[in-house]
Amino acid sequence: MRGVLCLGNIVFDVLVRPVTELRWNTTSWVDSIRHTMGGNGANTAYALAVLGTPVRLLGWVGTDAAGAALLERLSRAGVETDFVRRVNAPTATTVSLVNEQGDRFLLHAPGVSLEAFREPPELAGPLVRGIGHVHLANLFAIPGLRRHGPAMLRWARQAGLRTSLDTGWDQHDRWMRDLEPALPWSDLVFVNREETLALTGTADLPEAARAFTARGARTIVFKLGAEGCALWHDGRLVRVPAFEVPVADTTGAGDCFAGAFLAALARGLRWEEAARFANAAAALTVAELGATEGLRSWDEVQRWMRTARPRAAG
């Protein structure tokens, strides 16, 4: 099995739950404040490793204690972190406020992410040895990836590697202006419902898929939360339902979904099979508090799927 090179951010996450309301100049007691791992790059790479796929992570952390703790956790899971760069700046940090329904509000301090990927790394030599797939975990999360991500995907494709990207949320509201140059070099695009509307101006999935493919994308996976996902491939939309689970926290579920989807492709599963497996891995994730705490091994997810109940449509 060839590995995946994951490009993206690595974040120290402070998870607070449940938050029922925000009122200035008051104090609210909560059940849990947990320090954990976050970041699109870290979460996706961690999911790949837990699911048994060789994965190498390229990202940036600070030389602080948070950066050291994140690298230790990633390495323990099996993520190759030799190419993670440490610089004298704060590790990126997010405070995730989660309500009783599992929805979240994020406060993000980018820290070292502002320094990351200032120059595009050359996708050659030891960095891509044994790699068959390059995944850009969030085009919009890091300014350097916004600038250089399309060129990096182009280099990967020209080297014969499969490519994918996860769009993420664009707080700078540039959306398709920055994404469009990357689409011709993306074999697979992951995008959620809110991002789809912002990028294409439509919530109609076939119409949105055509907007992406008209700009060069090939296969689109729409992440639809409680509805599961929808796969646009070869001009056809296929919906794959989610599984029925109690929702504790949706933080990181989209990253774990993408990692599980790529892990399934690495094992040779077909597109629709990969979508169903990714739905299962994401379902187990949202049932636990924390972005990656609910992840299980490949065999455990497969066993769980045999008895799990698909969520009813509508």
pLDDT tens by residue, 281-291: 999 998 887 77
Task: Tell me, yes or no, whether 312 lies in a domain.
Answer: no
Task: Tell me, yes or no, whether 45 lies in a domain.
Answer: yes
Q: How many domains does the chain have?
A: 1
Cα 149 from Cα 144, distance rounded (Å): 8
The band of 105, judged by pLDDT with boundaries at 50, 70 and 90, is confident
The band of 314, judged by pLDDT with boundaries at 50, 70 and 90, is low
| pTM of the entire predicted model | 0.93
What was the pLDDT predicted at 292? 85
Task: Tell me, yes or no, whether 83 lies in a domain.
Answer: yes
Alpha carbon 53 to its chain's center: 15
Where are the alpha helices (H) located in the chain, listed in sequence order?
40-50, 65-77, 143-158, 176-179, 193-200, 205-214, 253-266, 271-286, 298-307
Task: Tell me, yes or no, whether 34 lies in a domain.
Answer: yes
Q: Residue 126: is the preceding peptide bond cis (ω within 30°)?
A: no
What was the pLDDT predicted at 249? 73
Task: Tell me, yes or no, whether 157 lies in a domain.
Answer: yes
Q: Are 97 and 73 in contact (CB under 8 A)?
A: no
Instruction: Show the beta-strand stretches assigned E in 81-223.
Output: 85-87, 93-98, 104-109, 131-136, 162-166, 188-192, 219-223
pLDDT tens by residue, 139-176: 999 999 999 999 999 999 999 999 999 999 998 999 99
Token digits of residue 134: 């390059």
What was the pLDDT predicted at 313? 67
What was the pLDDT predicted at 293? 82
Cα-Cα end-to-end distance for the chain: 38
Within 10 angstroms of residue 295's Cβ, the number of other Cβ atoms is 25
Task: Tell me, yes or no, whether 314 lies in a domain.
Answer: no
Q: Is the pLDDT of residue 272 over 70?
A: yes
Q: Is the pLDDT of residue 231 over 90?
A: yes
Domain membership of residue 220 as a residue range? 3-22+30-307
Q: For tokens 């790529």, name the residue.
A: 262
At residue 308, what are phi and psi to the nearest 5 degrees? -70, 150
CATH number reported for the structural domain that contains residue 55 in this entry? 3.40.1190.20
Task: Tell me, yes or no, whether 313 lies in a domain.
Answer: no
Task: Tell me, yes or no, whether 78 lies in a domain.
Answer: yes
